[in-house]
Amino acid sequence: MSATPEPFLGTTDHTPVRHHILSVLVENKAGVLARIAGLFARRGFNIYSLAVAPAESGARFSRVTIVVDAESAPLEQIVGQLDKLVNVVAISDLSPKDALERELLLATIQTNVDNRTSLLDIIASAGAAIVDVDARSVTVMLAATPGGCDELERALEAFADVELHRTGRVALPRLGKTASA
Amino acid sequence: MQLTGAQALIKSLEQQGVEVIFGLPGGAILPVYDPLLDSSIRHILVRHEQGAGHMAEGYALATGRPGVAMVTSGPGATNIVTPIGNAHMDSTPLVVITGQVASGSIGTDAFQECDITGITMGITKHNFLVKSAQEIPRAVAAAFHLATTGRPGPVLIDVPKDVTQSMMDWWYPSTVEEYDLPGYHPEVPLDEDAIALAVALISEAERPVLYVGGGTLKSRASAELLAFAERTKMPVVTTLMARGAFPDSHNQHLGMPGMHGMYTAVTAIQKSDLLISLGARFDDRVTGKIPAFAAGAKVIHVDIDRAEFNKVRHADVAIQSNVAAALRAFDAASASPKSLDSWWKQIRAWQEQYPLVYEEASTEGLLRPQHVIEAIAAKAAPGTIVASGVGQHQMWASQFWKYEEPGTWINSGGAGTMGFGVPAAIGAKVGRPDRTVWCIDGDGCFQMTAQELVTARLEGIPIKVAILNNAYLGMVRQWQEMFYEERYSEVYLSADLPDYVKWAEAMGCVGLRATNLKEMHDVIEEANRINDVPVVIDFRTDSSEKVFPMVAAGASNDDIMVHPLQRGVSK
């Protein structure tokens, strides 16, 4: 997806120091994601994560939440160029301190009698939920801050066989704060 | 009224007032070529799709109206990618229609299929893949709206063959709302605070320069520029993309800035304390080494595209506006600098010391390319339009021809597309048949697109082409001479092959040749007498001639190299 220099499933905090969250309302048309990705690629802007889903207005618009590396290019450039894409309807820029950020993590962990108890402890302390279970494995879900997801991910490194997916974050302004357009 | 998609497409173009399409048919676009027979729109059949694109650009640059090109899918579409990229770099309004394989075949690697919307995503202002015949009018109306408003640019409409063959109920959008472009807002209200800040900066300026870019032409702001410049007495420079925006004969005009700019234009910017950028984008060919560019100047940046602000150079005041509206606002606020007397005294001294010069040729020696251009200009009808290719000849054509009005200088600026000249000249002549159109070309450029002279001859488009034939890819040769110890690598072309006179004649044009000064004057007179067919003149020029002044790539504009004749003179 992006030219991110670090692997997505890193062992440390995924979030760069100077990240910004762009909440981008786009027309729900074929190729819109390619236009955004192509713009970031050709202008050398780095994307840390990207989440796309239909927006509140139904099928006509989608909301793309992009976590950008504001060190790869000035934010003003990224927003200005993004705004020129005809299918981009609105951009709001959320500074991390003003944003409520959440991310979904799903992980399936192979377990055995020896480690099942410690796994259950980790799940409980992270506030994650068990969503599927069988004799040899457990699937857990966590909806939390990106940092909370990072912590669970690190804790699960103790297990040999883990399949883990994260969605990338979505965000809204904190109450009393507004995003800048 | 029931129409086929093809009929709706042509009718939509008629609704937009299109008078001419440059194109070449093929399988996927075939349905559209049938109703074209019944249309009032003129079609000019090119010999290569690249020609269609550059003709549409030349037409647009000469008339200010969008150029329209139509080609088929696959290679037809990829052949027009270069003009699309060129138009994107130079913000030229273009609507390009490409045929596409039938909807059901898209994605199957069908014959002559290519993902042209994907290919051109990064080099169009926008593009559309039309999915139903009913949507054709909206796509066409939206394409013209996008191409011509805000920062202009190329828009591509890809139309699958089954879409043009199916039926639709005719309609045409009558309001912008019906274009369905919820994310497109090209005009923003003028920021009065920014105008006030700019006026304050102007009032403090002692050494201001009006840095005029292509956006001034695009926003048709020449009259406003003239009024503002004359009222404030500020010096003006016009970039390669803005030649003609301000009369070259005006005594406040310092000429072109940049890598091959006039010494005074470059140096005045360097020494300025206020740079007022009007639709310019601080291109590297203008700035040279960026940290050293106009290092003591504050910047007022006027541009319709906010992404240009702070992209290259920090703007002390950024005004998102078309140039005309911003200049009117400056005038309304009576923005005026301090007395510029000492600034002008300095400027006049530079002008006197470093005018544009070249060495006169001996009577029998090879021609000086600069002299050829001056000789053509001396005999050219008023309002003559000049198109050029890319390279040394382009720089000389910008330096030595005097441009007095918008639309008289047509060239490939940002992309630097060799081969642009001949088809662009043809397009310009189609748009302005009342004007004489000269193409000042190089021998390398000419060989890239010369086949379009067949188009010109058959379509009755009598342009005049001056080939400055120095037997080399001259600009590359110049760099190899200056920066690669005269190690000439793959730049020699031969002066005699092809035989340009015979080639011109084979294409139905008049072919002429000049090897000395007398012949030069004779052939120019002869060319000026011919107004029914294209004329091609092979001017044999001195290959050692180099373009000066010059700022080496990446160097500071302070280190401008003047012509050797002027060296050793203290600055």
Q: CATH number for the domain including A84?
A: 3.30.70.260
Mean of pLDDT values over A29-45: 94
Tell me, yes or no, whether A69 lies in a domain: yes
| Amino acid B268: pLDDT | 98
* Boundaries of domain holding A43: 19-99
Q: Does the CB of B189 have a partner CB in chain A at under 8 Å?
A: no
Question: Which residues of B are less than 8 Å from A84 in CB distance?
Answer: 125, 305, 307
Tell me, yes or no, whether A23 lies in a domain: yes
Same-domain check for residues A24 and A71? yes
Same-domain check for residues A86 and A25? yes
Q: Does the CB of B126 have a partner CB in chain A at under 8 Å?
A: yes
| Amino acid A178: pLDDT | 77
Question: Which residues of A are less than 8 Å from B118 in CB distance?
Answer: 31, 34
Same-domain check for residues B150 and B208? no
| Amino acid B362: pLDDT | 79
Same-domain check for residues B171 and B229? no
Same-domain check for residues A88 and A121? no
pLDDT higher than 70, residue A10: no
Tell me, yes or no, whether A51 lies in a domain: yes
Give me the residue from A84, A86, A87 closest to B307, CB to CB. A84
Mean pLDDT of chain B: 97
| Amino acid A11: pLDDT | 31
Question: Which residues of A are less than 8 Å from B182 in CB distance?
Answer: 27, 89
Q: What is the pLDDT of residues B448-506, one digit of tens each?
A: 999 999 999 999 999 999 999 999 999 999 999 999 999 999 999 999 999 999 999 99
Tell me, yes or no, whether B497 lies in a domain: yes
Same-domain check for residues B303 and B221? yes
Tokens of B134: 């009913």
Same-domain check for residues A26 and A93? yes
First to last CA, chain B: 74
Tell me, yes or no, whether B548 lies in a domain: no
Residues of B catalogued as catalytic: 49, 111-112, 161, 475
Tell me, yes or no, whether B566 lies in a domain: no
Same-domain check for residues A109 and A37? no
pLDDT higher than 50, residue B98: yes
Same-domain check for residues B334 and B381? no
Looking at A80, A99, A118, which one is the last position of a domain? Answer: A99
Contacts of A85 (CB under 8 A, 6+ apart): A26, A32, A35, A36, A39, B183
pLDDT higher than 90, residue B409: yes
Looking at A81, A99, A117, which one is the last position of a domain? Answer: A99
| Amino acid B163: pLDDT | 98
Could A89 and B121 be called an inter-chain contact, meaning their C-beta atoms sit closer than 8 Å?
A: no
Same-domain check for residues B481 and B343? no
Tell me, yes or no, whether B555 lies in a domain: no
Question: Which residues of A are less than 8 Å from B305 in CB distance?
Answer: 80, 84
pLDDT higher than 60, residue A17: no
Same-domain check for residues B109 and B234? no
Looking at B353, B388, B423, which one is the last position of a domain? Answer: B353
Distance (Å, whole) CA B350 – CA B71: 51
Tell me, yes or no, whether A14 lies in a domain: no
pLDDT higher than 90, residue B329: yes
* Boundaries of domain holding B379: 369-540
Same-domain check for residues B258 and B378? no
Question: Which residues of B are less than 8 Å from A31 in CB distance?
Answer: 117-118, 121, 129
Tell me, yes or no, whether B571 lies in a domain: no
pLDDT higher than 70, residue B570: no
| Amino acid A5: pLDDT | 38
Interface of B with A in 127-146 (CB under 8 A): 129, 146
Give me the residue from B125, B182, B307 closest to A27, CB to CB. B182
Give me the residue from A77, A84, A87 closest to B311, CB to CB. A77
Same-domain check for residues A88 and A108? no
Instruction: Respond yes or no on whether ipTM tops 0.95.
Output: no
Tell me, yes or no, whether B361 lies in a domain: no
Nearest-CA distance B161 → chain A (Å): 19
Per-residue CA distances from B264 to B89, B179, B235, B351, B560 (Å)? 27, 47, 10, 6, 10
Same-domain check for residues A85 and A139? no
State which residue of chain B sits closest to A24, comparing Cα positions. B183
Same-domain check for residues B210 and B173? no
pLDDT higher than 80, residue A46: yes
Give me the residue from A38, A76, A86 closest to B146, CB to CB. A86
Question: Which residues of B are less than 8 Å from A76 in CB distance?
Answer: 309-310
Same-domain check for residues A32 and A81? yes
pLDDT higher than 80, residue A9: no
Residue B367 banded pLDDT, cuts 50, 70, 90? very high
Same-domain check for residues A95 and A23? yes
pLDDT higher than 50, residue A1: no
Q: What is the pLDDT of residues B212-226, one digit of tens each?
A: 999 999 999 999 999
Same-domain check for residues B9 and B92? yes
Same-domain check for residues A77 and A30? yes
Residue B272 banded pLDDT, cuts 50, 70, 90? very high
Tell me, yes or no, whether A109 lies in a domain: yes
Q: What is the pLDDT of residues A161-173, one digit of tens each?
A: 999 999 988 888 8
Distance (Å, whole) CA B482 – CA B395: 17
Mean of pLDDT values over B293-318: 97
Looking at B318, B353, B388, which one is the last position of a domain? Answer: B353
DSSP, res B472: B
Backbone angles phi, psi at B129, to 5 degrees: -110, 115
| Amino acid A70: pLDDT | 81
Could B121 and A35 be called an inter-chain contact, meaning their C-beta atoms sit closer than 8 Å?
A: yes
Residue B56 banded pLDDT, cuts 50, 70, 90? very high
Mean of pLDDT values over A134-154: 95
Mean of pLDDT values over B193-200: 98
Residue A8 banded pLDDT, cuts 50, 70, 90? very low
- Please answer whether residues A173 and A98 qualify as being in contact, where contact means their C-beta atoms are separated by less than 8 angstroms: yes
Of the candidates B87, B323, B125, B145, which has an alpha carbon nearest to the alpha carbon of residue B218? B323
Domain count, chain A: 2
Domain count, chain B: 3
Nearest-CA distance B307 → chain A (Å): 4
Tell me, yes or no, whether A178 lies in a domain: no
- To test the contact with chain B by mutation, choose from A33, A79, A81, A86 the residue with the greatest count of B C-beta atoms within 10 A, namely A86
Same-domain check for residues B223 and B273? yes
Helix (H, G, I), strand (E, B), or coil: what is residue B241? helix
Q: Does the CB of B306 have a partner CB in chain A at under 8 Å?
A: yes
Q: What is the CATH number of the domain that holds B322?
A: 3.40.50.1220
State which residue of chain B sits closest to A25, comparing Cα positions. B183
| Amino acid B569: pLDDT | 54
Tell me, yes or no, whether B479 lies in a domain: yes
Q: What is the CATH number of the domain that holds B95?
A: 3.40.50.970
Give me the residue from B117, B126, B307 closest to A86, CB to CB. B126
Provide the Cα torsion B158, B162, B168, B173; round to 10°: 0
Mean of pLDDT values over A59-88: 92
Same-domain check for residues A70 and A126? no
Looking at A99, A132, A162, which one is the last position of a domain? Answer: A99
Distance (Å, whole) CA A27 – CA B495: 56
Looking at B149, B179, B209, which one is the last position of a domain? Answer: B179
Question: Which residues of A are less than 8 Å from B125 in CB distance?
Answer: 84, 86
For residue B76, which amino acid is it?
Answer: G
Residue A12 banded pLDDT, cuts 50, 70, 90? very low
Same-domain check for residues B275 and B296? yes
| Amino acid A57: pLDDT | 66
Q: Does the CB of B307 have a partner CB in chain A at under 8 Å?
A: yes
Could B183 and A86 be called an inter-chain contact, meaning their C-beta atoms sit closer than 8 Å?
A: yes
pLDDT higher than 50, residue B127: yes
- Please answer whether residues B441 and B422 qualify as being in contact, where contact means their C-beta atoms are separated by less than 8 angstroms: yes
pLDDT higher than 60, residue B109: yes
Same-domain check for residues A25 and A95? yes
Tell me, yes or no, whether B284 lies in a domain: yes
Same-domain check for residues B14 and B114? yes
